[in-house]
Structure 1
Amino acid sequence: MAKANKKQALGRGLSALLKDPDNDIQSAQDKNADKVIGNIVELDLEDIEVNPFQPRTNFSEESLRELASSIKELGIIQPITVRKIGHNQYQLVSGERRFRASKLLELETIPAYVRIANDQESLEMALVENIQRQDLDPIEIALSYQRLIDEINLTQEQMSERVGKKRSTITNYLRLLKLDPIIQTGMRDGFISMGHGRALIAIDDTSTQLDIYESILTKKLSVRETESMVRNINTPNTKASNKTDNEIPTFIKTGINSFSEYFGHKIDVKVSKNGKGKITIPFHSEEDFNRIKKLVEGAK
């Protein structure tokens, strides 16, 4: 207990040092900078502003209340990290959930590590540190990787070294950003997993992506079932298809595109030797079936 009190007293002493206008620390080379950088400092919550570079955009109110309850019982176990932006002014680099929960409790101070960094360094620190967290959703991670590429000009190889992830892992996350925004939102809200999203990337057509997405939700499809559905769409039975193509009359070949455009799916046509044939209209979900039904009923 004495050790803990000594550490807390040290933090309060450093806080007073930072508030002294005659010893304003602006860089790592300034006097007393070595006493602050790398140590835990008790900072006033009102002197800290949120980080505009924060990759996390969703903060669950329920989880914040749970964290606040934990902080009330046990205190803040892991200090936040801030960067000094002016005299007695700080900006969050990481730890926004702890910062928000502390505000919910109306605490006056919070333990923090103080860093000296410019805007670009702060952005990189925030993105890299947040990528390492376990509670970011796949889209938040993908957006963080994309920002490192766009704003810090890191290559995927450089990112791999910074965040300790394989280049192929980074590529898989970045590819998620090619999905329709509705599907990205579903992943962020936990309706589908990253595995579902990776399977859907193989579908180029946006409307087909959304059709499969609806099937995943309504039929509670597993990742493996989703992958199987995607394979069936991307790799139809070519042998049967070639045989059918040889037997389809020209008048059908020239008119089948109109059917496909009308129903919003690739229509399958089979023709027998006696000239009779069969048209197959696929659907991917109950909603898709009802959509096609309305098209048919409207044409009557």
Structure 2
Amino acid sequence: MAKATKKKALGRGLSALLKDPDNDIQSAKDKNADKVVGNIVELDLDSIDVNPHQPRTSFNEDALTELASSIKELGVIQPITVRKLGFNQYQLVSGERRFRASKLLGLASIPAYIRIANDQESLEMALVENIQRQDLDPIEIALSYQRLIEEVDLTQEEMSERIGKNRSTIANYLRLLKLDPIIQTGMRDGFLSMGHGRALIALSDTKQQLEIYERIVKDKLSVRETERLIKALNTKQKTTAPTKFDENKQNAVKEISSYFGAKVEVKLNKKGNGKLIIPFASAEDFERIKKLIDESKQN
């Protein structure tokens, strides 16, 4: 698997600023608050508490382990969001799975967005201004759109008016966040474009997405070449999709299996054509099945 280079941890200087007791930032009106609002800050995991009113209390351990493995390989792709409670004290707002997976890995810190008192208007302004920048990658833009929806409570229609973008454009960016973290990292580091990402979304299978991502990087496929490749793959899957038997035919297969004393397999194509496969364990078993066929012919 081609791996994207990890980005350096963000917000180290801001983290030090927040640990200065003489200049503690509690409000959007405080000195240096503008440096925090809308930016990513590296926070100590020990300074963050989970929200006791979080409605979700059950987390799948296997899924957390998989996420931890991804974070170990790629880092935290989407920063968590916290609310400032006091000096160097925060409460989790969103991203509890990322928070738990990072603790599972034994990490000391995690990238986070910090919400502070009366920062709603400042946050919206900072995010909208950030989106207008020319040097943002597609995932950074998508994350800003997501924050405007989740934290500023804007609808896609309202966001369209604020930033002067069509709703379809906003929706296309947001869909990129459904891609595998490895692919998101590849987009952030310039291995593939937004066009490649949009093409990959057409594949519902994550494993296939990653396989095509590998080919894009290895063979330097253009967006058009990627779209043709994915279209051909989807077309092949549709034409080879097996036709399901109705209940009567399924019962008939069971009767045939019972008659031959072997698990008969049926393979069908979309048109309904197919094969009936009768397995045998040995030459003697083959002769036994052949005899049964000969007997059926005589009856």
Shorter-chain TM-score category? 0.3 to 0.5
Q: Which has the higher helix share?
A: 1
**What TM-score do you get using the length of structure 2 for normalisation?**
0.45
Greater relative CO (CA pairs within 8 A, separation 6+): 2
